[in-house]
Amino acid sequence: MKRSSIILLLVIALLIGVLVSTIQDASTYASFDMAQKQAPETVTVVAQLDLDSPITFDPQTSMLTFTAIDKDGQSSTVLYNQPKPQDFERSEEITIKGRAGDGQFVAIEILMKCPSKYTEEGGVMADDEASIYTENS
């Protein structure tokens, strides 16, 4: 066998290895239910912040406690031992990496998606429409 063929095979084998390792290292998107079943495995939950439940932050321990509702509509208390992110309440969707603990979800990392950062919900007219209509009438 030619050496170049050996190298080619080796490269292909390594490429497959790389792909497999990526899939193995990848976590999965889960609901809180699935997280509970898969505990203590770390999963990623895409959820919404429950604004009706209290969001508390204790600066002494820098512990943030809040309730999130996952895409299946199930809610869970989430503990996050990091300072409360800026504009936390305004986030439209939060991506929580972590694992299920005793009846709670322990977050390691939280990514927030704020609608305002990139797109504007009402656009230029959001605040002004009313005033125009009254002006015209």
- Which residues of the shown chain bind another protein in the complex (CB under 8 A)? 2-4, 7, 11, 14-15, 18-19, 21-23, 25-30, 34, 42-44, 46, 57, 59-63, 79, 81-84, 86-87, 90, 95, 97, 101, 106, 108, 111, 113-114, 116-120, 123-129, 131-133, 135-136
Rounded least distance, CB 75 to another protein, Å: 19
Alpha carbon separation from 80 to 56, 68, 89 (Å, rounded)? 11, 12, 15
CB of 73 to another protein, least distance (A): 18
Cβ nearer to another protein, comparing 26 with 73: 26
Q: Which of 39, 75 has the CB closer to another protein?
A: 39
Residue 14: burial class (beta carbons within 10 Å; 0-12, 13-18, 19+) = exposed
CB neighbourhood size of 32 (10 A): 23
Rounded distance between C-alpha atoms, residue 114 and residue 111, angstroms: 10
